[in-house]
Chain A
């Protein structure tokens, strides 16, 4: 195997495995910048995966190649609806953020499998007919060396995710909306005195995280899993949350961390094809992303990076 093709395999599988993590981690930054801890990203991804697969199965014949893209948006919308639960519980009903998030994580897989059983009469769906597949950029893929590595047979959705990350960064740090969202997460009392609608912005943060998390789950289901079952989303939401923290609550940082975790995850999948890596017992590659997350948290996370009011309920009358 030439080194170009080895690098190309690593890059393209890293991109494929990172994409869902990027979307979901970006979602996490919006929620937490607004002050709502979202442990429920995992559950949101499950709902996104479930709804996109159901949509894909139903409309693949009439919509053709566009199906997975529209299904991803459907996943996002369902994610928004599901995250409403978290928003209402934490913003209006003063629930503990972690308890509410955990409820979402318990609820989503059960609901998804229940609905699959109710609709299809079995515990997992059929395989989808239209997935994201591979994409070669016309023109760019002809560039020597760089072309085959970055632009040939690669994941188009990954590039979309990177663009979304840049947009999210701009939205969060260069616009009025972003400034207000962050102020609500840092010091809701002060923001409230300035006339900013604290509850409104917190809702926006959580719902955006629902949208992006739903897309993340949909992308995972339609580019990696291929169907929906209880084992479709196992831990990707939690890894995304870790990526968000590793990226210090910054969209660009979260994207970088998600790429890193995607790389670590893809190693356990493609490791067998790579010289050198295939000698390592697969268990080490399987647990690597989780161990790396812990190590990153312990050694690399700087101090005082979480939004100050993250995880606290804002009670207006106080």
Chain B
């Protein structure tokens, strides 16, 4: 038992979770006689060892920041948005569609237009579960999971059957977007050894600040947090919890949609058939949980996850360890974050040793009983 003050404790819990997660990965690797030190070494080498790999790591972090922000906004309103990947997919398809439809518009028109289209598509995908939750009490967890699959199959259908044929280069992929619609900028790529890093990184940093301002400095942000803490008290105080729930999901979906736009206009420059839900969805959720929803936390944990993922590829080639170990480490980290109650017991609070720190989503625990009874919409 180590005595620390509460701020240090807030930082120690995620750090401990990260360490423990890596440890789990190491144990599994040892069990199958892979060398964990060599594996983690080639992971660092693969993600930070050259300007190209640093560029790729930053590129990987870009969409994660957006989806993680999306998750955290919804989570502040007491909403568990598992639909990030479907919302991101919608954003990806919509932005590519617009970019391919008007390839010759000037950049300053086309690029914002394509980005807005992607954001809108994500917003609509997010609004559906928000609306259903607000008016029918339907569990957003189930609805968003189901919508992920709907988005997955629809995206293939839209590309193969609905898009004009000349948008496609084959049955499996669209053509590349024109240079008027790309987020790619030459000087930035050159700076990072011609990697796929793109201007979206700066948009992501702007989004981090914007969401922080929204949540901390605006009425809407206050209402979202207030509804998340106690929807009944918020209603009494004159806020419309229905409106707030829908707004929080619209914002969440918008951000997730922008995450998809980053993949479309930034990383890949086209759309191709997806066979599983986009990984930036669940990874974004993990990033947000690890970063405990704060902008700085999200930035740091997005970087960590990108190091894991880009480095994981290097680990596979460098040390011959299957890439899946990265997901195992990721899942373990989130597991340890999830059982923060136990981990926090390791670090005793110096200021008020007996007072329990409230966990962030307090409302959930408190209101579920009455709310479920009324609405019957939970799992």
- Chain B: minimal CB distance from A239 (Å): 8
Which parts of A199-254 form the interface with B (CB within 8 Å)?
Answer: 230-231, 234-235, 238, 241-242, 245
Quick check: A305 and B156 within 8 Å, CB to CB? no
Q: Is the CB of B146 within 8 A of A293?
A: yes
A298: contacting residue among B138, B275, B282, B289, CB under 8 A: B138
Q: Identify the stretch in B38-46, B205-213, B329-337 within 8 Å (CB) of chain A at 4 or more residues.
A: B329-337
Bound-complex Cα distance A308 to B370 (A): 8
Q: Which of A76-84, A110-118, A137-145, A166-174 is the contact stretch? A: A110-118
Contact B138 A99 (CB under 8 A): no
Given A110-B327, A283-B153, A298-B138, is A89 in contact with B339 using a C-beta cutoff of 8 Å? yes
| Interface contact B365-A312, CB-CB below 8 Å | yes
In the complex, which residues 277-311 of chain A have their Cβ closer than 8 Å to any Cβ of chain B?
281, 283, 286-287, 290-291, 293-294, 297-298, 301-306, 308-311
Q: Assess whether A10 is interfacial by the CB under 8 Å rule.
A: no
Cβ-closest chain A residue relative to B283: A106
B351 within 8 A of A: no
Tell me the chain B residues, 249-298 only, with Cβ under 8 Å from chain A: 275-276, 282, 285-286, 289
Are B276 and A107 in contact, with the CB atoms below 8 A? no
State A304–B157 Cα separation when bound (angstroms): 38
**Cα distance, A23 to B32, chains bound together (Å):** 32
> Contact: B276 with A230, CB < 8 Å?
yes
A79 to B292, CA, bound (A): 30
How far apart sit A39 and B82, CA to CA, in the bound complex (Å)? 11
Q: How far is the CA of A311 from the CA of B80 in the complex (A)?
A: 13
Question: Which of chain A's residues have a CB closer than 8 A to the CB of B326?
Answer: 110
The tally of residues in B whose CB lies under 8 Å from a CB in A reads 56
Residue numbers in A under 8 Å from B161 (CB-CB)? 281, 283
Which residues on B sit within 8 Å (CB–CB) of A231?
Answer: 275-276
- With a CB–CB cut-off of 8 A, which chain A residues contact B23? none
Q: Is A100 an interface residue (CB 8 A)?
A: yes
Chain A residues lying within 8 Å of B154, measured Cβ to Cβ, are: 283, 287
Please report the C-alpha to C-alpha distance between residue A172 and residue B132 in the assembled complex, in whole angstroms. 31
A287-B153 in contact given A242-B142, A304-B373 (Cβ < 8 Å)? yes
**A245-B142, A311-B368 known; A234 vs B276 contact (CB < 8 Å):** yes
A95 at the interface (CB under 8 A from B): yes
Q: For the complex, would chain B's binding face be called helix, strand, loop or mixed by DSSP majority?
A: helix
Instruction: Given the known inter-chain contacts A114-B325, A287-B153, please indicate yes or no for A294 contacting B143, CB distance below 8 A.
Output: yes
Per-residue contact bits, chain A 90-118, to B (CB 8 Å; 1 contact, 0 not)? 00011110111011001101110110011
Task: Please judge, given known A-B contacts A99-B338, A242-B142, whether A312 and B379 are in contact too, CB under 8 Å.
Answer: no
Bound CA span A98–B275, Å = 25
The answer, yes or no, to whether B300 is at the interface (CB within 8 Å) is no
Residue of A nearest to B132 (CB): A298
Q: Which residues does chain B contribute within 8 Å of A85, judged by CB atoms?
A: 335
On whether the beta carbons of B322 and A245 are closer than 8 Å, the reply is: no
> How far is A312 from B276 in the complex, measured between Cα atoms in Å?
31
Known: A103-B332, A311-B378. 10 other contacts (CB 8 A): A95-B341, A100-B338, A107-B332, A107-B335, A110-B331, A238-B149, A283-B154, A287-B153, A298-B132, A301-B138
Q: List 29 A-B contacts (CB under 8 A).
A: A32-B379, A95-B339, A96-B361, A99-B337, A103-B331, A103-B334, A106-B282, A106-B327, A106-B334, A107-B335, A110-B324, A110-B328, A113-B322, A234-B276, A235-B145, A238-B145, A241-B142, A245-B142, A283-B161, A287-B154, A290-B146, A293-B142, A294-B147, A297-B138, A301-B377, A304-B376, A308-B369, A310-B368, A311-B368
Closest 6 CB pairs of A and B: A110-B327, A283-B157, A114-B324, A107-B331, A106-B331, A93-B339
